[in-house]
Amino acid sequence: MRTSYTVDAERCIRCGACAIFAPGVFAVRGRVELVRQPEGERELVQCRAAAIACPTAAIGAAEGR
Ligand code: SF4
């Protein structure tokens, strides 16, 4: 099972927290960007932390195959 992440640009306030928690996956360059999907357990843990830390619940996660 693979977890895919999304970012809702309408909800994002560009605080930068996600890019701090998961710098390989999220970037804030004027607006938040999903650089790529997480690779490996370490980045999955980082993304879970980023989603929890996001103050506007802009980060979504979906389980896939
Ligand atoms: S943590 Fe949430 S609000 Fe902050 S930059 Fe990331 S997606 Fe946007």
Q: Indicate the pLDDT class of residue 64, thresholds 50, 70 and 90.
A: confident
**Domains (range + CATH), the chain:** 2-64 (3.30.70.20)
- Residues 52, 20 contacting (CB under 8 angstroms): no
- Matching residue, tokens 């980060």: 59
56 lines ligand 1 (CB under 6 A): yes
**Residue 65 pLDDT exceeds 80:** no
Q: Could you read off the pLDDT of 13-63 as tens digits, one per residue?
A: 999 999 999 999 999 998 889 999 999 999 999 999 999 999 999 999 998
Output the pLDDT for position 5. 96
Q: Is the CB of 20 under 6 A from ligand 1?
A: no
Contact 4, 61 (CB under 8 A): yes
Instruction: Output the pLDDT for position 48.
Output: 97
- Which residue puts its alpha carbon closest to atom 3 of ligand 1? 12
